[in-house]
């Protein structure tokens, strides 16, 4: 068993300003660096002053491990490299555009020391550009609300949000024990490679921790360069079936219905109303791909199809209804997924 409770891995590329805010949020309030915490910054061949930012923290006495790839190996390969380089029992990939609230690292580290779980899921807020200094002042609640859940209930609560890599702290040790020849790169080019170890951790352990309190923030509207429905429709549903189909009853259906109700409506409404949001994704026939992927699910026809193909008024009504549905679903612990 590793003496390190937690490895934090930060992949970064040409975002020195954002990275500096993240690192400041991690060390805020620390009087000494914990002996069982490892932090690795993996610079994917940045051409800005990323190396200088990391070096400044190291000079202040923080024992960060600084890696620099000779060339840009892509985001997914950088994530996979982290899984292989980490030494802690738990593995936490944090995007360079996140900001942790004061006290969050101590809370997560304490859970990693005391619990033997598969996945620790962290609820989070969002923030806009130029709000970093304000967010850095936020503190995690003194009393953090969290629930221990079995794999089925945990998956019903998290499903599509398991794709947000920064929100999931993974029991890396359990993954390697469950699959000794585990290869983190088996799902390259899906834009969801991190789900290989997340799904394996769900299978490997009986319990997981869902943190209800929001204890970090992510920069809004800051991902792009892929086809939205292809990744969060086709790829995600197929990967769920492949990795969890034999372990969690109806995992594929739960994930598909979660995407239909909890994720796509807000994404699509944003695209319809905001040209900048629409242009950040690669072109695809959204209606055709969505229909092929989800037409077998009744919730698609009730909520998502009207948003995709209806008039402005129809979209507004459908969006209102799906938000009401989600509220009811949360109250009933997602029994309708």
CA 163 to chain centre: 5
Structure tokens at 138: 């936020």
Site of tokens 């993974």: 170
Q: Distance between CA atoms of 267 and 270, rounded to whole angstroms? A: 5
Q: Does residue 235 register a pLDDT over 70?
A: yes
Q: Distance between CA atoms of 49 and 57, rounded to whole angstroms? A: 13
Three-state SS for 100?
Answer: strand
CA 74 to chain centre: 17
| 8 Å CB contact between 134 and 250 | no
This prediction has a pTM of 0.93
The C-alpha angle with vertex 198 and arms to 193 and 200, in degrees rounded to 5, equals: 105
- The DSSP secondary-structure symbol of 85 reads H
CA 123 to chain centre: 10
Predicted local confidence at residue 275, as pLDDT: 56
Q: Distance between CA atoms of 93 and 9, rounded to whole angstroms? A: 5
Give the domain ranges of the chain.
Answer: 6-223, 251-331
Q: Does residue 192 register a pLDDT over 70?
A: yes
CA distances to 47, 162, 172 from 44, rounded to whole Å, are 9, 24, 23
CA distances to 25, 27, 105, 115 from 54, rounded to whole Å, are 14, 13, 18, 31
Predicted local confidence at residue 117, as pLDDT: 98
Site of tokens 């993954």: 175
The C-alpha angle with vertex 56 and arms to 105 and 72, in degrees rounded to 5, equals: 85
- 215: nearest Cα among 148, 153, 155, 167: 167
CATH number of the 6-223 domain: 3.90.550.10
Q: Distance between CA atoms of 255 and 245, rounded to whole angstroms? A: 11
Predicted local confidence at residue 2, as pLDDT: 65
Predicted local confidence at residue 35, as pLDDT: 94
- 306: nearest Cα among 263, 251, 269: 269
Structure tokens at 192: 């969801």
pLDDT tens, 33-61?
999 999 999 999 999 999 999 999 999 99
132 pLDDT tier (thresholds 50, 70, 90): confident
Structure tokens at 334: 């997602």
Q: Distance between CA atoms of 136 and 25, rounded to whole angstroms? A: 6
31 pLDDT tier (thresholds 50, 70, 90): confident
């Amino acid at each position: 068993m590793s003496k390190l409770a937690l490895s934090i891995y930060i992949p970064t590329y040409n975002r020195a300003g954002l990275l500096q805010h993240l690192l400041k949020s991690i060390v805020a309030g620390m009087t000494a660096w914990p002996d069982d915490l490892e932090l690795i910054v993996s610079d994917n061949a940045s051409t800005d002053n990323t190396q200088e930012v990391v070096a400044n923290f190291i000079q202040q006495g923080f024992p960060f491990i600084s890696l620099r790839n000779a060339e840009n190996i892509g985001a997914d390969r950088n994530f996979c490299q982290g899984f292989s380089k980490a030494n802690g029992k738990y593995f936490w990939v944090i995007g360079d555009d996140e900001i942790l609230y004061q006290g969050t690292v101590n809370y997560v580290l304490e859970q990693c020391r005391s619990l033997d779980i598969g996945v620790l899921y962290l609820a989070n807020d969002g923030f806009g550009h130029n709000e970093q200094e304000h967010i850095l002042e936020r503190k995690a609640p003194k009393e953090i609300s969290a629930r221990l859940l079995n794999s089925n209930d945990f998956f019903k609560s998290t499903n599509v949000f398991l794709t947000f890599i920064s929100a999931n702290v993974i029991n890396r040790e359990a993954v390697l024990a469950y699959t000794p020849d585990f290869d983190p790169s088996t799902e390259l080019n899906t834009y969801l490679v991190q789900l290989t170890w997340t799904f394996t951790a769900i299978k490997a352990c009986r319990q997981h921790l869902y943190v209800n309190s929001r204890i970090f923030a992510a920069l809004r509207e800051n991902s792009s360069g892929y086809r939205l429905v292809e990744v969060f429709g086709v790829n995600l549903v197929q990967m769920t079936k492949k990795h969890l189909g034999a372990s969690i009853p109806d995992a594929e259906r739960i994930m598909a219905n979660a995407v239909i109700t909890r994720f796509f409506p807000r994404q699509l409404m944003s695209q319809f109303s905001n040209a900048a949001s629409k242009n950040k994704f690669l072109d695809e026939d959204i209606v055709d791909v969505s229909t092929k992927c989800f037409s077998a699910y009744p919730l698609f026809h009730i909520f998502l199809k009207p948003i995709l193909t209806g008039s402005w008024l129809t979209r507004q009504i459908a969006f209102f209804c799906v938000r009401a549905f989600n509220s009811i679903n949360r109250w009933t612990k997602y029994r309708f997924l």
